Homo-oligomer: A and B are copies of this chain.
Amino acid sequence: MGEMVNVAVDAMGGDNAPGEIVKGVVEALNADRRIKVFLAGREPLIQEELKKYTYDPERLEVVHAQEVIETGEPPVMAVRRKKDSSIVKCMYLVKEGECDALVSAGSTGALLVGGQVIVGRIKGVERPPLAPLIPHMDGVSLLLDCGANVDARPGQLLQFAKMGSVYMEHVIGVANPRVGLVNIGVEEEKGNALTKEAYPLLRHCPEINFIGNVEARDIPLGAADVLVCEAFAGNIVLKMLEGVSGALIQKIKAGMMSSLRSKLGAALVKPALKRTLKGFSTEEYGGAPLLGLNGLVVKTHGSSSAVEIRNSILQCIAFKEQNINQKIKEQVVLGD
């Protein structure tokens, strides 16, 4: 067995904090002995939750943080002012090397800002992309960038492609991942100024397996393993995926309840349907890594339940053991 994987977890972030966060932490500790968690937040609240569970106390350390950064706060100001917040404390644990990674369901803005100004970028990385795994018909794709920094430059899209390829190959285990450029047509000349300039950069890059443009329609069919785009487009892809599946499932449920006959049928299909839809839920795959930082920062959904927190923590093991940041350095910095 290798070294321990030390993960800082923000106990106060998200809609279900601290209850579901603490539960997810305990589940991760019990699932894998390589994990040690530094749980940051209001200690009395955390201890209250911890009482409910059994776990190895040697591998859990509570780090008291009095303040909480709320989702609506202007992130730059919040990160600067709230030094005693759970997010900022987690950031310093990573910066100072005490932790390898941090997991938070809190403010995306604060994580993006703190990731850059406290944890810091890997030298040569221009912009750290937020890279969620999104489900498709037969598996998952990595979508990057979905962050807050819109209007990326073509060279940054190339860096996203390289970092995404490293992550998909070594953390998720997809050999020679197919990289697609999210675009409004498959032909090379389609798109906006950004995609037209990015296309030849991607095509001529020997380190990635570029398969060309991917239309949004084909994303849910699994057209590529790594989906490269600027953050405005990425956000729309991600939110449409979540919004359409949510609305459709709601509509299907309502449809099934519309007659006695269909209600009977619904009772029969329910278990099979639940199994099927589980694979199409974004929660199952853990949070979204913010790639290209000196350490791993994982942003989970604001609505994270224990399962997403647990999966996000467990994801950090492969990230450390596969030495992802070293590989990113080699690809992005030396490959440029």
Contacts from A to B (Cβ < 8 Å) = 136-137, 148, 150-151, 182, 184, 191-193, 215-221, 231-233, 235-252, 254-256, 258-259, 261-262, 264-273, 275-277, 279-280
Contacts and interface: CB of A to CB of B under 8 A. Distances in A.
A137 B237 CA distance: 19
Contacts of A262: 268-269, 271-273
A235 B269 contact: no
A277 B244 CA distance: 13
Contacts of A266: 265, 268-269
B237 A240 contact: yes
A232 B233 contact: yes
A301 to B, nearest CB: 12
A183 B272 CA distance: 36
Contacts of A191: 150, 232
B192 A216 contact: no
Given A265-B269, A275-B255, A277-B255, A217 B240 contact: yes
Contacts of A255: 269, 272-273, 275-277
Contact of A243 (B219, B243, B271): B219
B247 A220 contact: yes
Given A236-B237, A248-B280, 18 more contacts: A136-B247, A137-B247, A150-B191, A151-B192, A182-B236, A184-B232, A184-B236, A217-B240, A220-B247, A237-B240, A240-B240, A241-B244, A256-B273, A261-B269, A262-B268, A262-B271, A264-B268, A265-B272
A248 to B, nearest CB: 6
Contacts of A218: 243
12 contacts: A217-B246, A220-B247, A221-B247, A236-B236, A237-B240, A244-B248, A251-B276, A251-B280, A252-B276, A255-B277, A265-B267, A269-B269
**Residue from the set A137, A193, A242, A252 with the largest chain B CB neighbour count within 10 Å:** A252
A212 to B, nearest CB: 15
Closest 6 CB pairs of A and B: A265-B268, A255-B276, A216-B239, A265-B269, A240-B240, A262-B272
A236 B239 contact: no
Contacts of A150: 184, 191-192
